Structure 1
């Protein structure tokens, strides 16, 4: 009986992991997750963008503030991201190079809760 319960638990474990959020990139970027907050970093040709979701639901960028710290061959710099449509933030003119380390901090305006994630650009 104990073996059956253990086997059932091990079999269902992958499903429990999926219940916390889908980490598949939806915009061609790199996805990281902390708690229930998921951030996708997209390195575009003329700008960098992030998309913010919680529990698989988009979070309106108007309800948040976001900053990005970039460490690359050019040094270290901090960029304030601009809220855009839906759950997107943009950093116009920011080009992320391969190997760059990027830290993103998102702050909920109402609760002041912070989510900080780090990425390595491929």
Structure 2
């Protein structure tokens, strides 16, 4: 599991007084940086490998400005060319949001998916649920 700590910003707070729902997927993506690094160690977009296919987000509790949030990211499953992540967002030690993201190992030059290399598969497995 990966943990990413985020300090909510005023600009992410909406008129209802909680963090806007459009912010949460961005925070979940921030929790995926170590996974992106597995596939593209130099983070160059010319060599980018992780292409998102699907996301889902379930809002369990409101999230507020002024209190740190923790994004937790696990690898839920690994296929031949794709993998599924399970993510949670916690504030004050409570689960507030959960979701899933599906990524494919994609070669931008050939515009085709490719098998996940063995060394990356092993790293992903180390963070499995």
Whichever structure has more helix as a proportion of its residues is 2
Using the size of structure 2 for normalisation, the TM-score is 0.29
Using the size of structure 1 for normalisation, the TM-score is 0.30
Whichever structure has more strand as a proportion of its residues is 1
Instruction: Say which structure, 1 or 2, has more relative contact order (CA 8 Å, 6+ apart).
Output: 2
